[in-house]
Chain A
């Protein structure tokens, strides 16, 4: 019932949307007449003999051309700026390359070393997977929760939204030093609050068991970016839907799970994929938080990208670093493809099954 309501609403919305558009010099017919037009159009094309010689004018060719036209800026950028360095790093991953001398082809040596000789590779992979497993679900859930709260119509919400967004724009090393202060076991605020509820907080950044939770905690603090995404997508969920549900006596949770959540699945999908990619590539936090970027204490903060960075820019073994990068590429690629396939089951596109 709710689904149908949503559909109706959107159609209704389109009508009013067209009205604003038709205020401009372009004329557009209302959707209600769309069906008629489609039949007309079908008749038209059917009636017209398509010349085989003139295939450049054929509909599908034109559509392809327009499609490529739309994505052409990205294609140009890809071929001109991105593809070259990408391929370069792939080639480098099969060679011994120190960035400033000629590279020598070494076949699979770098990859062999990674899986057999470099124990820190496994340490860094494990640390990173740990971080991804906890931070992605927590930040996603946190961002949705806050976005829903911030979407309520209460006075002063503008200020709240700004406050919640603030940490996401705070950047730079200053932030990390602030966190060191907050997470300090003696005078830090975090442990002070914990002590109010009778918990003795850990030494966070100085106890190898607690360094990663500390970093996840920091990530949660700057959940404002994700919150903004959900806030934007919540604008697409009609208020009348909720009003209808209210009339049905639905409670908050029912409304959330049956209306809100399905409507924002495309963005949840986006958020999960991109934050997984982001979490796998965590670097800056660990680099600053562990002194000299060595990933200490006891390598508990040696994340994949940090290990890669050290290999590339401390050891100057860019060949090995590139091989590491491509292994990470494959890991995330598999996860992303899995997400894309699995996503079809739960992501609900209001726009219809376009693809």
Chain B
């Protein structure tokens, strides 16, 4: 009996020792800096979360932060890399627990969705009236919820049509005359196709490859009108149905097998069909240029606005971007807003734009950057700046945050030839109507 007790004791000591060691070890390495207290110098520590952790982006953002930290003596910004995508899950949990970062990088299209759900801070108190003049208007409008800014735009992008000039020459097309309308796009594509036997060596153009998806083409056709006209649904419109039929026709022309095969070939993102010169025309953002540049190929290409639905219609394009947000519950919203002002001011924005070859949200910075560039770099950059005036964002409608989950399967059905466009969009609209949030 005695021995047993001893043994038991020994064991429990062993177990608790393991526990204790692990507690101490982890305690050592984890400085619990979650509190709001200023550090020993009396400085406030601002926590900044971004997904810019790559070899190319991290040094840029960290230099900007470093400059800020040196420029004043009240605030120290501490940058933490949080992986792309997961950053928002983490942010949500941290906001829920009341222990969030002070500044976080988020997607511009759901700023108001987050604002409505009480996840971010109203910054109108900290921004003065001329703050909005810094940015492209379509970006600023998107960060407003109830007329108040809940974030500041940081960078943006816009979709362009890239075309292979060498292929144009081969096909007898003028390399300085990219297609202007959908009709021209079709004609050009047919000329650019290269077929060997029954399979394609090169595909002229397929509208669903690249950065401009089916919803974008549908809006392009419908005078730039989104799926929502304010709170009214405009999913089932004649123009959108026509666009969807047009998309399905492309697939019919190339054949289901060809498209599926090519889809799969390029799905993993390692190779790009335009860079590999398998596709002659391709839609993507301005920053896509870096991928062409880094491929090591001397690709002779041009960029143009997205072709318009009809002659005389506008060359509508799609954009996105990222914003800087102060999560709800941040202990230092005022200091955070100051830091956001710094990051969106001309100097910092210019640095970011040059170093990352990125479209920035600050208008003055964006425009001054192009001057220092040359060659293809300058061509793509200036074209994307011009394109911003026709660029629209696709902010998530706050009453229908998951509306795409009802539209996507209907688009798929049309593309698979299982449904005609009108019936599909009618069903989509009815389905979306059902999921309206209170």
Contacts and interface: CB of A to CB of B under 8 A. Distances in A.
Direct contact of A and B (CB under 8 A): yes
A100 B328 contact: yes
Given A184-B265, A203-B264, A299-B409, A313 B89 contact: yes
Nearest to B92: A99
A29 to B, nearest CB: 16
A285 to B, nearest CB: 15
Interface string A295-321: 111110000000000110111110000
Nearest to B96: A99
B433 to A, nearest CB: 11
Given A120-B405, A314-B402, A100 B264 contact: no
A100 B95 CA distance: 7
B264 A205 contact: yes
Given A310-B402, A316-B117, A294 B408 contact: yes
B405 A180 contact: no
Contacts of B92: 99-100, 313, 316
B174 interface: no
Interface in B247-267: 257, 260-265, 267
A180 B401 CA distance: 29
Interface string A313-338: 11111000000000000000000000
A199 interface: no
Nearest to B402: A315
A188 interface: yes
A294 B260 contact: no
B56 interface: no
Given A100-B117, A208-B416, A310-B402, A296 B409 contact: yes
Contact of A207 (B260, B269, B402, B435): B260
A184 B264 contact: yes
A206 B260 contact: yes
A279 interface: no
Contact of A316 (B270, B401, B404, B431): B401
A208 B264 contact: no
Nearest to B410: A298
Contacts of B412: 208, 296-299
Interface in B327-381: 328
Contacts of A180: 264, 267-268
Contacts of B402: 310-311, 314-315
A256 B205 CA distance: 58
B89 A294 contact: no
Interface string B34-74: 00000000000000000000000000000000000000000
A22 to B, nearest CB: 15
Interface in A109-127: 117-120
Nearest to B258: A186
Nearest to A119: B431
A186 B435 CA distance: 39
B269 A177 contact: yes
Contacts of B88: 313
Contacts of A184: 261, 264-265, 267
Interface residues of A, number: 37
A45 to B, nearest CB: 16
Interface string A179-198: 01101111110000000000
A117 B267 contact: no
Contact of A183 (B264, B406, B409, B413): B264
B268 A203 contact: no
B260 A181 contact: no
A226 B406 CA distance: 38
B424 to A, nearest CB: 11
Contacts of A99: 92, 95-96, 117
B393 to A, nearest CB: 17
B119 A297 contact: no
Among A119, A187, A188, A206, residue most surrounded by chain B Cβ atoms (within 10 Å): A206
B434 interface: yes
B119 A177 contact: no
Given A117-B434, A310-B405, A315-B401, A98 B261 contact: no
A98 B113 CA distance: 11
Interface string A118-151: 1110000000000000000000000000000000
B118 interface: yes
A293 B95 CA distance: 23
A179 B416 CA distance: 23
A33 interface: no
A50 B270 CA distance: 77
A189 B408 CA distance: 30
Interface string B117-139: 11100000000000000000000
Contact of B264 (A96, A101, A206, A317): A206
A98 B262 CA distance: 41
Contacts of A298: 409, 412-413, 416
A230 interface: no
A126 to B, nearest CB: 14
A118 to B, nearest CB: 8
Interface in B101-153: 113, 117-119
A283 interface: no
Contacts of B416: 208, 297-298
A187 B265 contact: yes
A280 interface: no
A101 B119 CA distance: 9
A180 B260 CA distance: 12
Contact of A186 (B113, B265, B408): B265
Contacts of A101: 117-118
18 contacts: A96-B438, A99-B95, A99-B96, A180-B267, A183-B264, A185-B257, A185-B261, A186-B265, A203-B257, A206-B267, A208-B416, A296-B412, A297-B412, A310-B405, A313-B92, A316-B117, A316-B119, A317-B437
The 8 closest A-B pairs by CB, nearest first: A203-B260, A184-B264, A186-B261, A298-B412, A180-B268, A177-B268, A206-B260, A100-B118
Given A100-B92, A100-B95, A296-B412, 11 more contacts: A99-B92, A99-B95, A101-B117, A117-B435, A184-B267, A188-B264, A205-B267, A206-B267, A299-B408, A315-B402, A316-B113
